[in-house]
């Protein structure tokens, strides 16, 4: 059986490429071959700054190119991708794959750049449409997209979402019950992640990983590092001048996993930062997002509730007894893998 996966594997985003890696690895363990389906390239915004701003922009772009190179190296070495095909010709992929899997990540969130109709698999033949832990990234779909999305989802053979809120959306749009599955990163064992990770830095350190700058969380992380007498290591999801260029450009996906594996404790406002902290049993403090990104808080709250560690959202870093998190997600992990096994079996028996 060969599956075509459609997700955000081309994004220079730690969670995006690592969930893609984990899904492909898990399918492989189930005996399925898979490739990521890549269509039209993402266009880069032109440079418009001039004067001193242009010099600053060029420095940002140069450092961004270093960071992108690390992501591209990871994709080339660790992900299996089908040759790029124009979006208009995606229907021809039906000759290459026995099934298509949309997900994971926020592929059904029309509010973010990069999401579009291809992630609803409109090109796929009947019986070949599946999703795995797909996320809408919000409590409801935009009104103007509801009818179209309902029509597309009704054509899926099986639907899996990542959050309970997604399950409610599918129920409202189609009357169907979607399967809530774990983010793919949680399907691999911590030992498997440590095997693929770059060795963690020597010495004790506190890790701060931010999707968006949070002054209070950054201050708390700095104070924690000072109280322990250790280094504060910072990684950001985008360019943040507060922390300098090196922290932004020098960390690829494998190095990122290694940093979480070796940290004394973690401060983050990231879903996947929370995931890896829990898997590696790191003491953790999580901050909620605000503004237009507040809709993403639900996935973190749901994960921490499942882990029994809601106190990580307040006060000092919190942790679970050794083995507790693995025990708490064991049933959901088994059910998630069983769902993927169902896709493999269906494709092999059609």
* Residues 154 and 35 grouped into a single domain: yes
Is 113 within the bounds of a domain?
yes
What are 288-310's pLDDT values in tens digits?
988 777 767 888 999 999 999 99
Q: Where are the beta strands (DSSP E) in the chain?
A: 2-6, 33-36, 99-102, 129-131, 160-161, 179-180, 205-210, 231-236, 265-268, 284-286
Closest CA to 21 of 108, 104, 100: 104
Structural domains in the chain (count): 2
Local confidence band at 226 (pLDDT 50, 70, 90 cut-offs): very high
The tokens of 241 are what? Answer: 């001048």
* Residues 265 and 340 grouped into a single domain: no
* Residues 155 and 213 grouped into a single domain: no
What are 70-104's pLDDT values in tens digits?
999 999 999 999 999 998 999 999 999 999 999 99
The pLDDT value recorded for residue 51 is 60
State the angle between helix axes of 14-29 and 52-78 in degrees (0 to 180), rounded to the nearest 10: 10
Within a 10 A sphere around the Cβ of 172, how many other Cβ atoms? 12
pLDDT > 90: percent of the chain: 70
Q: CB of 242 within 8 A of CB of 182?
A: no
Residues with Cβ within 8 Å of residue 207, at least 6 apart in sequence: 233, 234, 235, 259, 260, 263, 265, 266, 267, 268, 282
The tokens of 347 are what? Answer: 């494709």
pLDDT at 196 over 90: yes
The pLDDT value recorded for residue 46 is 46
pLDDT at 145 over 90: no
The pLDDT value recorded for residue 138 is 78
Is 226 within the bounds of a domain?
yes
* Residues 242 and 113 grouped into a single domain: no
The tokens of 191 are what? Answer: 């030992």
Is 68 within the bounds of a domain?
no
- Taking the C-alpha atoms of residue 185 and residue 104, their distance in angstroms, rounded to an integer, is 10
Q: CB of 200 within 8 A of CB of 250?
A: no
Instruction: Tell me the mean pLDDT in the region 211-220.
Output: 89
- Residue 33 has phi, psi (to 5 degrees) of -85, 150
Q: Cα angle at 254 between 253 and 257, to 5 degrees?
A: 85
**33-46 CB burial, b ≥16 within 10 A, e <16:** ebbbbbbeeeeeee
What are 100-133's pLDDT values in tens digits?
999 999 999 888 766 789 999 999 999 999 999 9
Query: Structural domain of residue 204, as residue ranges?
Result: 195-319
Local confidence band at 137 (pLDDT 50, 70, 90 cut-offs): confident
Give the domain CATH number at 288.
3.40.50
Look at the pTM and tell me if it is higher than 0.85.
Answer: yes
Is 71 within the bounds of a domain?
no
What are 298-343's pLDDT values in tens digits?
889 999 999 999 999 988 899 999 999 999 999 999 999 999 999 9
Residues with Cβ within 8 Å of residue 94, at least 6 apart in sequence: 123, 124, 125, 128
């Amino acid at each position: 059986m060969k599956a075509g996966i459609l997700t955000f594997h081309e994004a220079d985003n730690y969670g995006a490429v690592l969930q893609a890696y984990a899904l492909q690895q898990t399918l492989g363990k189930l005996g399925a071959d898979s490739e990521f389906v890549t269509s039209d390239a993402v266009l880069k915004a032109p440079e418009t700054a001039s004067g001193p701003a242009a010099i600053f922009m060029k420095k940002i772009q140069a450092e961004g190119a270093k960071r992108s190179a690390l992501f591209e190296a990871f994709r080339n070495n660790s992900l299996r991708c089908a040759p790029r095909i124009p979006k208009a010709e995606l229907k021809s992929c039906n000759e290459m794959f026995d099934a298509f899997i949309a997900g994971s990540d926020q592929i059904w969130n029309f509010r973010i750049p990069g999401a579009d109709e291809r992630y609803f698999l409109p090109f796929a033949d009947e019986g070949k449409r599946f999703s795995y832990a797909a996320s809408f990234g919000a409590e409801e779909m935009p009104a103007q997209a509801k009818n179209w999305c309902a029509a597309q989802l009704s054509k899926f053979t099986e639907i899996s979402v990542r959050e309970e809120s997604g399950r409610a959306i599918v129920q409202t749009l189609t009357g169907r019950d979607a399967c809530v599955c774990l983010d793919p990163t949680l399907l691999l064992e911590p030992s498997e992640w440590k095997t693929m990770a770059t060795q963690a830095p020597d010495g004790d350190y506190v890790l701060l990983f931010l999707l968006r700058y949070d002054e209070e969380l950054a201050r708390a992380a700095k104070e924690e590092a000072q109280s322990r007498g250790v280094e504060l290591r910072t990684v950001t999801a985008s360019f943040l001048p507060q922390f300098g260029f090196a922290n932004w450009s020098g960390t690829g996906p494998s190095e990122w996993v290694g940093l979480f594996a070796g940290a004394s404790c973690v401060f983050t406002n990231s879903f996947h930062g929370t995931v890896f902290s829990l898997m590696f049993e790191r003491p953790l403090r999580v901050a909620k997002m605000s503004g237009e990104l507040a809709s993403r808080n639900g996935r973190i709250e749901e994960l921490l509730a499942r882990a029994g560690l809601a106190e990580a959202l307040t006060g000092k870093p919190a942790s679970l007894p050794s083995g507790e998190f693995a025990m708490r997600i064991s049933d959901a992990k088994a059910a998630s893998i069983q769902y993927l096994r169902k896709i493999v079996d269906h494709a092999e028996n059609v």
